[in-house]
């Protein structure tokens, strides 16, 4: 399934004193099976963009096509889009509300007219994929660590078997261990299941490790696009957009791959 965004503009609170153009003529394509990183400074339009992709927000101008069909064609299409494109929000607290981990993950599939066996198998498979052990299934989601909560929230989306998984800042506010656990689970998901992943992050280091392609948002526009190496060559432009440069060795490797003469060896510790 491919997603095409054509000339998307979105304005919050139009024709009021609070009017804000959050997206400005954005055109992008996301292909089946891709792992895309969406990066950009706070307020650059990342959340607004992804909320358009499963139809939570309707464009002010432009359109979103799923396999060539406008997602706002009619109610049935929108329903289909919400099932096929899963969106895991930034704050799991908004998504976790059942008494147990198991029930929470089962919530989505329960509303999909599946048999009990299918629901059970979806729930267990989703929890396994994100690395949540069976001992935790009957716990309250609120007894879990921050990283575990995020993983349960992601499992809740996965249990509906989406073809596209969109993750909004899944590692925000986590310690390095929680962060690694989430990133590993996402990587595993993409590799094992081949689903399309769109990872929103303000961390270039996170996306550098994982994605095939980066889209850089800046002031509501898709300002830059390419493989991590291509994007990281533009160190100065990225800094001008308020993005902290990724690990220095990564940038230097990227520059070297581009054919620049970089003394990469200065970063390697010589053995005595």
Q: Which of 76, 33, 93, 26 has the alpha carbon at shortest distance from 53?
A: 26
Residue 47 binds to ligand ADP (criterion: CB under 6 A):
yes
Residue 170 binds to ligand ADP (criterion: CB under 6 A):
no
Q: Is residue 196 within 8 Å of 34, Cβ to Cβ?
A: yes
Contact letters for ligand ADP, residues 48-67 (x by CB under 6 A) = x-------------------
Tokens 């503009």 found at = 9
Measured distance CA(215)–CA(187) in Å, rounded: 18
Measured distance CA(101)–CA(83) in Å, rounded: 21
Measured distance CA(211)–CA(33) in Å, rounded: 11
In residues, how long is the chain? 272
Range in contact with ligand ADP (rule: CB under 6 A) among 41-49, 115-123, 226-234, 259-267: 41-49
Residue 16 binds to ligand ADP (criterion: CB under 6 A):
no
Measured distance CA(247)–CA(244) in Å, rounded: 9
Residue 22 binds to ligand ADP (criterion: CB under 6 A):
yes
The least CB distance from residue 217 to ligand ADP, in Å, is 6
The least CB distance from residue 22 to ligand ADP, in Å, is 3
- Of residues 180 and 225, the one with the C-beta less far from ligand ADP: 225
Q: Is 128 helix (H, G, I), strand (E, B) or coil?
A: helix
The least CB distance from residue 37 to ligand ADP, in Å, is 13
Sheet holding 20-30, edge to edge: 20-30, 3-12, 61-66, 69-70
Residue 203 binds to ligand ADP (criterion: CB under 6 A):
no
Residue 109 binds to ligand ADP (criterion: CB under 6 A):
no
Residue 42 binds to ligand ADP (criterion: CB under 6 A):
yes
Residues near ligand ADP (CB under 6 A) are: 12-13, 20, 22, 40, 42-48
């Amino acid at each position: 399934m491919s997603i095409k965004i054509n000339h998307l503009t979105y304005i919050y609170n139009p024709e009021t004193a609070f009017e804000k153009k959050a997206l400005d003529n954005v055109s992008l394509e996301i292909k089946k099976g891709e792992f895309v990183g969406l990066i950009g400074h706070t307020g650059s339009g990342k959340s607004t963009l992804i909320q358009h992709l499963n139809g939570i927000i309707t464009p002010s101008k432009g359109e979103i096509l799923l396999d060539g069909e406008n997602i706002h064609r009619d109610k049935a299409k929108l329903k289909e889009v919400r099932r096929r494109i899963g969106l895991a929000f930034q704050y799991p607290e908004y998504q976790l509300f059942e008494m147990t981990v198991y029930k929470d993950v089962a919530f989505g599939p329960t509303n999909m007219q599946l048999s009990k066996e299918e629901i059970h198998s979806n729930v267990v498979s989703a929890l396994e994929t994100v690395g949540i052990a069976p001992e935790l299934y009957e716990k309250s989601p609120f007894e879990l660590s921050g990283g575990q909560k995020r993983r349960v929230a992601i499992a809740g989306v996965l249990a509906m078997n989406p073809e596209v998984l969109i993750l909004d800042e899944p590692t925000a506010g986590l310690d390095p261990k929680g962060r690694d656990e989430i990133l590993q689970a996402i990587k595993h998901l993409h590799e094992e299941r081949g689903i399309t992943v769109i990872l929103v992050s303000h961390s270039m280091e996170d996306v550098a490790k994982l994605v095939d392609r980066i889209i850089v948002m800046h002031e509501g526009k898709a300002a830059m696009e390419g493989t991590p190496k291509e994007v990281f060559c533009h160190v100065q432009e990225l800094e001008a957009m308020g993005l902290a440069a990724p690990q220095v060795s990564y940038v230097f490797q990227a520059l070297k791959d581009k054919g620049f003469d970089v003394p990469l060896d200065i970063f390697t510790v010589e053995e005595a």
